[in-house]
Structure 1
Amino acid sequence: MASSDQTVLQISSPSSTTLSARVHPLVIFNICDCFVRRPDQAERVIGTLLGSVLPDGTVDIRNSYAVPHNESQDQVALDIDYHHNMLASHQKVNPKEVIVGWFSTGFGVSGGSALIHDFYTREVTNPIHLTVDTGFTNGEATIKAFISVNLSLGDQPLAAQFQEIPLDLRMIEAERVGFDMLKTTVVDKLPNDLEGMEASMERLLALINDVHKHVDDVVEGRVPADNNLGRLISETVNSIPKLSPQEFDKLVNDSLQDQLLLLYLSSITRTQLSLAEKLNTAAQIL
């Protein structure tokens, strides 16, 4: 018979308020920009994540800034004064944004992550650790979120283990176009407004074709019916405004003309600024 006072390995899970996270595209773009601008000798970039905790417990990551650091095999030195000064500056503009965790570039958790996470644990309860694979290890910029789980043997703490949590990259369609472009390893140029609209329409058409094929498969009995999926499709169809083809064409053409007018005005403004700069340079020479 086993002894009642035996020592048991325990895992201390964080509170349920940090079981999922949602990150905005601005955070990902800012992290990538910080990585491009990093010092030559730096292998990765780390920094602070700002945001808030939603009523349902999801951590909403809305902003970030890099923190200078020096890292070796057994120690990590953070510029704590810089971190606190940047936090104070951000909260003057967005006082509702607080520290929710920290980020690092690279694939997964590295050796010094536990030391950095320990610092942010003193800044906020149960911080999120966000990793962005700027090296495209698997052919794309893999983004993951982790929380720290404490391992203990009886009353004696042993170590901290990073556990991956669900991460939501939900974004509006305009952000989706830019994010899909930056996910690839080679980008010739960012799309303009018309190219972005074309990419959105192609994506929408592909989604409609997928839904149409699924409905045909269900009707023909090739796949089983899913009541929840059918309800979502029905709600989506009912939410579409009732427009005649002529009204829809007019709506699209009006929007397209507005986009073309903005492009024309921006081109005129750019030309005028360039001409004024050349005239100013010529006047200084004379």
Structure 2
Amino acid sequence: MSLSLALPSTSLASTRPVSKVVVSPLPLAAMLDHHLRRSSSQDRVLGTLLGIRHEASNEIEVRTSFGVPYQAQGKGSITIDMDHHKALLDLHHKVNPREVVVGWYATHPTLNSFSALIHNFYGSESSPFPAVHLVLDPETLAFASYVSTPVGTTQRADQVAFVPVPTELRVHAQERPGIELVTSNLTSLKSSAATASSDTTIDPSTTIALTTPLATLLTLLEKVSLMLDSVLSYVHKVNLGQIKPNEKVARALLETVGSVPVNAVTSLSKSSSSSSSSSNGNANNASTSFEDEFNAHLADVLMVSYLANVVQTQTEISSRLNLLV
């Protein structure tokens, strides 16, 4: 079943002010992936935004998105695949029932003649709350959010003005390492592409190899080592009285130290309480115990990654065999 949107007179839902729109990296990545898979006849793609509303602050937090097929039918008419929208929405509610429809997105920096019609449809989906329209520029990765307000004496679906809303990207602590890795690779690829375009010949030494999981782990461990050096330097300066101590920093360090595995802390405490003759041996045992525990955890992570790749390969083979049958 599909829904055809034309230009009839339609009453608009009562709007409530939206103070801010907060977007996480996951829906933006899904939008870019959807845009790359679009048809050659389309200059943009659109889809549904899912998230939660904070009634106290009037903020909308966009957490997920999925694409919705559509077909433009001349001037003033567009068809949206309602079955696809409803099916994906029902599946998502089975996993995250708290996330509701908060608006829609389009992968183009400008609005077109269909924006008001599509926004009117998503306004009915998010009623009685206003729908948010998120536009993403796939070239510059810039994005902005809009809400609609009626214009004119008669309330019609096409007589609205899109008012910008403050929008920000919020990256959680768990997502920051992955985002930094992706952005660093993009920066390297852009610099390499600029060098290749400026030169007449391409030097094979300028090509960028894909990073492996172990190389990524090494990079992260090097960053952790630099952070530990910075923390040790700060603690040393505080003990010497060179800088004034900060209670927030001390509390954060206490919480971080408390997250160290119990086995390592127990072994280190035993080694520090022993005599000086056996302290070196106990310290080595503590280090070995912690290293064994870390290696076991790393082996588990690699095994899970291997099994995930096997399942993905099996799924792809099964889908291709089904196409042949």
Do these two structures clear the TM 0.5 threshold for a shared fold by scoring above it?
yes
Residue of structure 2 equivalent to 1:127: 131
State the secondary structure of the residue aligned to 1:39: coil
One-letter amino acid of the structure 2 residue matched with residue 195 of structure 1: A
CA RMSD of aligned residues (A): 4.3
Q: How many residues align?
A: 240
Residue of structure 1 equivalent to 2:59: 58
With the length of structure 1 as denominator, give the TM-score of the two structures.
Answer: 0.63
Residue of structure 2 equivalent to 1:41: 41
Give the alignment partner of residue 241 of structure 1, picking from 232, 250, 257: 257
> 1:81-230 residue pairs with structure 2 within 5 A?
81-106=83-108, 108-111=109-112, 112-124=114-126, 125-135=129-139, 137=140, 141-142=141-142, 144-150=143-149, 159-173=160-174, 175-183=175-183, 184=186, 186=189, 189=210, 191-192=212-213, 194-204=214-224
State the secondary structure of the residue aligned to 1:255: helix
Which is richer in helix? Answer: 2
- Relative distance call for 1:241 and 1:145 in structure 2 (3 A) is same
Contact 1:148–1:162 under 8 Å retained in 2: yes
- Relative distance call for 1:198 and 1:58 in structure 2 (3 A) is farther
CA distance in 1, matches of 2:21, 2:181: 23
Displacement of 1:64: 1.7
> 1:7-86 residue pairs with structure 2 within 5 A?
15-16=16-17, 18-54=18-54, 56=56, 57-71=58-72, 76-86=78-88
- Relative distance call for 1:258 and 1:197 in structure 2 (3 A) is same
State the secondary structure of the residue aligned to 2:257: coil
- Which stretch of the first structure deviates more once superposed, 113-122 or 97-106? 113-122
Displacement of 1:181: 3.8
Percent identical among aligned pairs is 23
State the secondary structure of the residue aligned to 1:51: strand
Which is richer in strand? Answer: 1
Once the two structures are superposed, what CA deviation does each residue of 1:230-270 show, in whole Å capped at 9, x if it has no partner? 56434423433167786688646632442145436866998
- Relative distance call for 1:76 and 1:202 in structure 2 (3 A) is farther
Once the two structures are superposed, what CA deviation does each residue of 1:142-200 show, in whole Å capped at 9, x if it has no partner? 3x3413152657x6777413313232322233x333333444164853652x3343343
- In structure 2, list runs of 5 or more residues that go unmatched: 1-13, 190-207, 269-282, 314-325
Residue of structure 2 equivalent to 1:263: 302
With the length of structure 2 as denominator, give the TM-score of the two structures.
Answer: 0.56
Contact 1:178–1:191 under 8 Å retained in 2: no
- In structure 1, list runs of 5 or more residues that go unmatched: 1-12, 275-286
Displacement of 1:110: 2.5
